[in-house]
């Protein structure tokens, strides 16, 4: 095909993804003196999992209680992740910036203090934490406010651009290629450093409602960062650990932290509280233990399971229904209303979601980064949900600050980026645009993705075996062969075809890692029926790296404090 | 069903299109209204509803979700 003209922009730093990580990364890199482009396939002002704002902000404020210190948090976090997430990463991002970030958001006018007493913070605890690290706040305006600050600081915005590839010339980062998909124009960004803030990875597994976009995290997060980093030679870690959540029946919505934080219970069909059977902390245990409880109760014939919040005091219920649930998911109350449910009187039927590579407190997998948020490829940085770092809104924002500053510092000492080879660029461009060129006998992104979800749900979900994983790897490899047949009728479908490629790339990482890890760990996250218990020799991270045409596996022992 | 835009109410300002994180909403420039072009891909996140200056957007769940 004839490759159309390619637009060019040259800056010091390109930030990919304008969600909670990317917004702060772009602002921080710009404030550190770099010229910055912020690129996103959506708009810039509302993007990523927190597009419409969130209700919880994990924070250590050092206000006097013994759990409210960096040391106590780090001790807990290292236990929660079993040492698989580098504590220096958490220390140099979240713990370094969190107090400043909370006051910065207050200065921007974000309501952080919803309480009437004392300092005004309402803080709750969830997921086995030793204290009340979750500030209940009203984050609906947070994404556009931070984006406006980035724009004011001079960050250049490039919305509606789907990034297709990172450009690496002789082991040096040269920039990246994107498609302005609504017009079909190609856009080359030449730069010295890149920050990936592309979040978690969803849409790889069937979900109970059968609606692939009806997910608790953003269905538009499809693994771009993981894919391009891996292809450029960066290492990824622990991809076999997928995450689950408990959501209202058929409704992909977060809200569990709020419900558990306020003291709701999880019960089975007989009305028995079930989580204590699976974890000594019950509903205050880690998220994976809650999922395990609902999963097995249902599988073993004691379901359906419910969240019971009927015993909450009226003030707590009011807070939950007006401040937490409808902020965490803006359509939560629409769901309750259209179902005719009143949490004061009714049980809320819940279910375990499909898997995803999650972005949360205690996430275990992602692109491997050091404490400067540098990947193993010089000039390439990653933070938030796509990195093996602390996710969640506040963890991602703090990681973005560290990554943005590191990228600006790298750019300041780097020479001009190498010139991308024209022939290579045109090859990548023509591959990216191929679905638009195909006019017949193609397959739609939806058909392709449905096949992907079928394979992943059957063999790489809960209950894995060597035999099943080997089958999955073969079938995913067959699906890779179908990529050239993807067909798009318009720019929107082209963007979805690019997402389908990303989903496949991440799915292959998950299946590969799951076959290597011959044990079970973190409940449903990696449950091997042929190795049903954790094994001490496997208490380590599994790293994957593309070297030449093949993938090398290596290991990283758990981090001690 | 998904996000539903009341066309009588919509002035075609484009705020919802710009806010949608999924490229699900497009402007119909001829009719001067916003259209939910890909309802199957709606995340029910309500970014559009938050940004609509005239409160023209409601959420209607498909029957696979409610009841």
Nearest to A381 by CA among A28, A4, A52, A9: A28
User: Nearest-CA residue of chain A relative to B24?
Assistant: A492
Contact A43 B37 (CB under 8 A): no
Q: Which of A323, A352, A381 is the last residue of a domain?
A: A352
Cβ of residue B59 closer than 8 Å to a chain A Cβ: yes
> Cβ of A451: how many Cβ atoms within 10 Å?
18
Q: What is the pLDDT of residues A219-247, one digit of tens each?
A: 999 999 999 999 999 999 999 999 999 99
Cβ of residue A339 closer than 8 Å to a chain B Cβ: yes
Q: Is there a contact between A347 and A307 (Cβ–Cβ < 8 Å)?
A: yes
Q: Find chain A residues with C-beta within 8 A of B39's C-beta.
A: none
A202 in a structural domain: no
Cβ of residue B25 closer than 8 Å to a chain A Cβ: no
pLDDT at A334: 96
Exposure on the CB side of residue A351, measured as CA atoms within 13 A: 14
A204 in a structural domain: no
Cβ of residue B50 closer than 8 Å to a chain A Cβ: yes
Mutate to test the interface with A, among B4, B21, B57 (most CBs of A within 10 A): B21
Q: What is the CATH number of the domain that holds A254?
A: 3.90.700.10
pLDDT at A537: 98
A317 in a structural domain: yes
A506 in a structural domain: yes
Q: What is the CATH number of the domain that holds A463?
A: 1.20.58.100
CA distances from A481 to A262, A428, A475, A476, A501 (A): 49, 17, 10, 9, 11
A376 in a structural domain: no
* pLDDT, average across residues B48-57: 97
pLDDT at A2: 66
Q: Which of A308, A335, A352 is the last residue of a domain?
A: A352
Query: Pick from A214, A329, A330: which is nearest to B50 by CB?
Result: A330
Q: What whole-number distance in Å separates Cα of residue A139 and Cα of residue B24?
A: 23
A3 in a structural domain: no
Question: What are φ and ψ of residue A109, in 5° steps?
Answer: 90, 15
Query: Pick from B40, B51, B58: which is nearest to A213 by CB?
Result: B40
> The complex's ipTM?
0.98
Domain limits for position A534? 434-538
pLDDT at A39: 98
Question: What are φ and ψ of residue A328, in 5° steps?
Answer: -65, -45
Domains and CATH numbers, chain B: 3-59 (3.30.70.20)
Question: Which residues of chain A have a pLDDT value below 50?
Answer: none
* pLDDT, average across residues B13-28: 97
A319 in a structural domain: yes
CA distances from A473 to A73, A313, A506, A528, B37 (A): 38, 51, 12, 16, 35
pLDDT at A5: 85
pLDDT at A529: 97
Cβ of residue A215 closer than 8 Å to a chain B Cβ: yes
Contact A495 B18 (CB under 8 A): no
Token pair recorded at residue A210:
């059968």
Query: Residue B1's pLDDT band (boundaries 50, 70, 90)?
Result: low
A29 in a structural domain: no
**What is the tally of structural domains in chain A?**
2
Query: Pick from A43, A250, A335: which is nearest to B18 by CB?
Result: A43
pLDDT at A170: 87
Query: Pick from A47, A331, A339: which is nearest to B59 by CB?
Result: A331
The CA radius of gyration of chain B, in Å to the nearest whole number, is 11
């Amino acid at each position: 095909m004839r490759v159309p003209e390619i637009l060019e922009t040259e800056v010091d730093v390109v930030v990919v993804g304008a969600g909670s990580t990317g917004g702060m990364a772009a602002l921080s890199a710009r404030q550190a003196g770099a010229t910055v482009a912020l690129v996103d396939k959506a708009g810039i002002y509302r993007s990523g999992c927190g597009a419409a704002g969130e209700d919880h902000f994990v924070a250590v404020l050092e206000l006097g209680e013994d759990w409210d210190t960096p040391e106590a948090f780090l001790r807990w976090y290292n236990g929660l992740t079993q040492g698989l997430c580098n504590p220096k990463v958490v220390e140099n991002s979240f713990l370094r910036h969190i107090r400043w970030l909370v006051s910065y958001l207050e200065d921007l006018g974000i309501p952080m203090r919803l309480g009437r007493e004392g300092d005004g913070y309402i803080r709750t605890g969830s997921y086995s934490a030793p204290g009340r690290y979750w500030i209940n706040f009203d984050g609906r305006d947070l994404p556009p406010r931070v984006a406006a600050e980035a724009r004011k600081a001079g960050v250049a915005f490039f919305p509606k651009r789907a990034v297709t590839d990172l450009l690496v010339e002789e082991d040096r980062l040269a920039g990246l290629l994107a498609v302005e998909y609504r017009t079909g124009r190609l856009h080359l960004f030449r730069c010295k450093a890149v920050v990936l803030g592309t979040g978690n990875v969803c849409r790889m597994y069937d979900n109970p409602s059968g609606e692939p976009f009806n997910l608790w995290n953003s269905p538009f997060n499809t693994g771009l960062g993981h894919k391009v980093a891996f292809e450029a030679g960066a290492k990824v870690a622990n991809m076999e650990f997928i995450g689950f959540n408990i959501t209202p029946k058929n409704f992909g919505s977060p809200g569990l932290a709020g419900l558990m934080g306020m003291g709701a219970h999880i019960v089975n069909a007989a009305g028995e509280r079930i989580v204590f059977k699976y974890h000594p902390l019950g509903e205050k245990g880690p998220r994976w233990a809650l999922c395990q409880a609902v999963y097995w109760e249902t599988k073993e014939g004691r379901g359906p399971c419910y969240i019971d919040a009927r015993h909450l005091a009226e003030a707590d219920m009011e807070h939950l229904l007006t401040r937490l649930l409808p902020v965490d998911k803006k359509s939560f109350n629409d769901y309750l209303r259209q179902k005719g449910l009143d949490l004061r009187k009714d049980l809320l039927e819940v279910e375990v979601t499909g898997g995803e590579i999650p972005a949360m407190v205690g996430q275990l997998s992602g692109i491997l980064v050091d404490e400067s948020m540098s990947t193993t490829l010089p000039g390439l940085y990653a933070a938030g949900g796509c990195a093996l770092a602390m996710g969640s809104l506040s963890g991602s924002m703090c990681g973005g600050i560290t990554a943005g500053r590191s990228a600006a510092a790298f750019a300041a000492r780097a020479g001009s980026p190498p010139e991308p080879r024209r022939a290579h660029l045109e090859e990548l461009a023509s591959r990216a645009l191929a679905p638009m060129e195909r006019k017949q006998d193609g397959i739609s992104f939806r058909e392709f993705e449905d096949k992907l979800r079928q394979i992943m749900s059957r063999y790489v979900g809960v209950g894995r075996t060597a035999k099943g994983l080997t089958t999955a790897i073969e079938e995913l490899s067959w699906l890779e062969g179908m990529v050239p047949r993807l067909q798009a009728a318009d720019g929107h479908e082209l963007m979805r075809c690019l997402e389908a490629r990303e989903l496949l790339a991440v799915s292959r990482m998950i299946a590969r890692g799951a076959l290597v890890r011959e044990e079970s760990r973190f409940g449903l996250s990696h449950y091997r029926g042929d190795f049903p218990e954790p094994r001490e020799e496997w208490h380590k991270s599994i790293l994957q790296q593309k070297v030449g045409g093949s993938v090398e596996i290596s290991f990283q022992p758990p981090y001690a404090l | 069903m998904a996000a539903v835009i009341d066309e009588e109410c919509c002035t075609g300002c484009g705020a919802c299109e710009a806010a949608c994180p999924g490229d699900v909403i497009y402007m119909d420039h001829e009719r001067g209204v916003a259209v939910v072009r890909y309802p199957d891909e709606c995340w029910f996140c309500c970014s559009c509803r938050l940004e609509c200056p005239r409160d023209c957007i409601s959420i209607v769940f498909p029957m696979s979700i409610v009841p």
